[in-house]
Amino acid sequence: MRVQPNAIATTPLGTNNDALLQTIIESLVDGILLVTVQGRWVYGNYNAQRICQQLNSGKFISDYVPTAIRRVCQTFLHYCSQRSPNAQLEAETAFNQVHYRVRVRWFQPEEQNLSLLLVTLEDCNQAARNRAIAEVQQFNLTERQADVWLLYRAGYTYQEIATQLFVTINTVKRHMKNIYAKQRSRNGQQY
C-alpha cells in the first residue's frame, strides 16, 4: 500500500512532486515510519529501516514494527482519539546504549479513508553528535579541541577522554578551559 500526497503537482521544472517528496523523506536524518492502527508497517524510509533493524538485534525483518515502537503506538492509540488530530506522544527508549526518541501522531491522507500513525524515530546519540559538530564549527575549535569536545558531548568523562586520545587529564582540562573561553567569547559577541 502506498500513501499518495495530497495532490499531484509539478515543480517549476515540470517533474512530478511524488519523486521529489520521496527524495526529501529518504534524506531526512530521522526515521519516518507509517503504521496502521493494527500495527502493520506501511512505509519506512531508510533511517527508519536502519533504526528498526538495530531495535531488532541487528536483523532486518521486512514490514515488522519492533516491540518498543509498537508499545509507544499502542499507548498513543489508548490515550489519543482520532478526534484530536494534533495529538502527539513522545517517548524515549534505549537499546545497546543507543537512545532513541519515538514520536507518534495521527496521519490521515486526504482522499483516502485510512487512518495511519506517523512515527518519527530520532537517534538521540546521532542528534547529539550532529549538535556537537555544529558547535565545533560555531566556536571555531581547533582539530584537537574538536576531538575533546565531541567525546565530551558524547558523555565521556575527562579521564575517559584522556585515555581515548592518549593524553593526560590535565591536557583535557586545558582544552576544555579553552573551549569554554571560546564559547563565552562567542556568546558575548552575540549580545
Q: What is the mean pLDDT of residues 145-170?
A: 95
Contacts 24+ apart (CB under 8 A), 169-175: 172/148, 175/144, 175/145, 175/148, 175/149
Amino acid identity for residue 117 in this structure: L
Q: If you ran DSSP here, which 8-state letter would residue 124 be given?
A: H
Query: Does residue 2 sit within a domain?
Result: no
Are residues 25 and 106 both part of a single domain?
yes
Q: What is the mean pLDDT of residues 21-33?
A: 72
Are residues 118 and 145 both part of a single domain?
no
pLDDT at 174: 97
Total structural domains in the chain? 2
Helices (H) and strands (E) in the chain, counts: 7, 5
Q: Which helix (H) or strand (E) holds 79?
A: helix 67-79
Are residues 182 and 112 both part of a single domain?
no
pLDDT at 114: 80
pLDDT at 181: 94
The answer to whether residues 131 and 33 touch, using CB atoms and an 8 Å cutoff, is: no
Q: Residues with Cβ < 8 Å from 89, sequence gap 6 or more?
A: 72, 75, 76, 79, 80, 103, 104, 105
Query: Does residue 21 sit within a domain?
Result: yes
Q: In what order do the strands lie in the sheet with 116-123?
A: 41-44, 31-36, 116-123, 98-107, 88-95
Amino acid identity for residue 153 in this structure: R
pLDDT at 9: 35
pLDDT at 151: 93
Domain residues for 144? 139-190
DSSP helix/strand/coil, 131: helix
pLDDT at 124: 87
Are residues 80 and 160 both part of a single domain?
no
Distance between start and end Cα atoms, the chain:
52
Predicted confidence band at 139 (pLDDT cuts at 50, 70, 90)?
very high
Q: CA torsion sign, 146 to 151 to 157 to 160? A: negative
> Regarding predicted confidence, which is higher, 142 or 128?
142
Are residues 74 and 148 both part of a single domain?
no
Predicted confidence band at 102 (pLDDT cuts at 50, 70, 90)?
very high
Predicted confidence band at 57 (pLDDT cuts at 50, 70, 90)?
confident
Query: Does residue 61 sit within a domain?
Result: yes
Amino acid identity for residue 59 in this structure: K
Question: Does the pLDDT at position 158 exceed 80?
Answer: yes
Query: Does residue 46 sit within a domain?
Result: yes
Q: If you ran DSSP here, which 8-state letter would residue 5 be given?
A: P
Q: Which of 2-6, 49-53, 78-82, 152-156 has the lowest mean pLDDT?
A: 2-6
Taking the complete model, does pTM exceed 0.75, yes or no?
no
pLDDT at 141: 94
Greatest mean pLDDT among 16-25, 28-37, 45-54, 140-149 lies in 140-149
d(CA 89, CA 70): 13
Percent of the chain at pLDDT > 90 equals 37
Torsion of CA 62, 68, 72, 77, to 10 degrees: 50
pLDDT at 164: 96
Three-state secondary structure readout of 141-163: CCHHHHHHHHHHHCCCCHHHHHH
CATH number at residue 118: 3.30.450.20
